[in-house]
Amino acid sequence: MTAAASGSWLLRGNDDRLAVYAISEAGVHRWTEVSAGSGNWGGPDLFPVEGLTGVTVGQGANRYVHLLGRRESRQDGGAAKVDLVYAVQYQSGRTLGDWRSLGNPFRDPKDGATLGEPAVGVDGQGTVHVFVSGAPGGIMLRRESRSGAWEAWKDLRGGAVAGPPTAAATSAGLVELLAPGNRSVMRWVQTEPGADLRRAQDLTPAPAPGSTALLETAPGVFTAYWSEWSGTGVYAQRPGEWAFPVGGAPAEGPLATLRATLDGYDCTVLAHRGRTGTAVIGVCGTGGEAEGLWWTDTGVACLGTPALALDGRGRVVVAVVTETGAVLINRQRPEPGLTLSDWHPLPVG
């Protein structure tokens, strides 16, 4: 059955066509718009990989699409062997490059089996940064060198990690990383191009497992979002400011984020899977979260986090994977505010 990928699994390519990425037992499925903003889709194309338990999708400034998968295999009933696999798509609608293994940073088989789902960030030079955690705690990093070879795993340290981390790069090409901990959100930042990431001040209150998200809300400035662990809703924080509640009622899992122009205003759009299992969307003026978000329950049940993107005509597009494994797409109507149209299923292979 099809399931939602992690990260930005609805993306706009270098020709402005949208693509959707999902996972199944057979591998990764991809649907691609026939033409930019048309609402007509081709696919699904299948890129086979055996043993995937999760896939994370990311994109750099050049709009190449990077896919990181957690792969698990067993031989003759023995212990699970876990590694990460990586592939890249250079152009919309084209095939992926070859899948390659990035190994596992933990040598002990028991520790290796606890490897979590990865996060990916691509800096301004196109360097891919892969982040992952496991039972030993902290965050491990592996990245491409400028020659295209992969460097050795590096321990960024940190405490115990509760769920997958989140990574992104600013418009200046600097990578930032969030990792939900047991008492706070751990944060690492890159202060100049090509530099190592350094630990920054943690964010509080404590997050729900795997709920962190990043959105650039001013040039070079990320706003961090996460769900508070006891269920009081979503929190937001920018560097140098206190964290503040912005409402919502998210279930466990990450938030999707997007900036969009609505009625001529720069707005922030958030989406999550609500406690009742339906997709919920929140909107506010960018930088104005403290004044409150307007939250709307779509009423559509979903598995995993909804995805958000702008299509080739600048309209907000929402994607969800339903409880039956169908992928549904909804697009902004030409009306005031963020008014969605009807949900449309993508073709079934």
Report pLDDT for 101.
96
Cis preceding-peptide flag for 180 (omega within 30 of 0): no
Report pLDDT for 196.
92
Rounded-to-integer distance, Cα 8 and Cα 322, Å: 17
Rounded-to-integer distance, Cα 328 and Cα 302, Å: 9
Report pLDDT for 77.
67
The parts of the chain modelled with pLDDT lower than 70 are 76-77
Question: pLDDT tens for residues 264-290?
Answer: 999 999 999 999 999 999 999 999 998
Question: pLDDT tens for residues 303-315?
Answer: 999 999 999 999 9
Average pLDDT of every residue of the chain = 94
Q: Which is nearest to 86 in space by CA: 68, 104, 71, 109?
A: 68
Q: Which is nearest to 265 in space by CA: 292, 286, 282?
A: 286
292-297 long-range Cβ contacts below 8 angstroms, 24+ apart: 292/246, 292/247, 293/234, 293/246, 293/247, 293/248, 295/247, 295/248, 296/338
Question: Number of helices and strands (H, E) in the chain?
Answer: 1, 30
Across the strands, what pairs with 46? Answer: 29
Report pLDDT for 42.
96
Report pLDDT for 147.
79
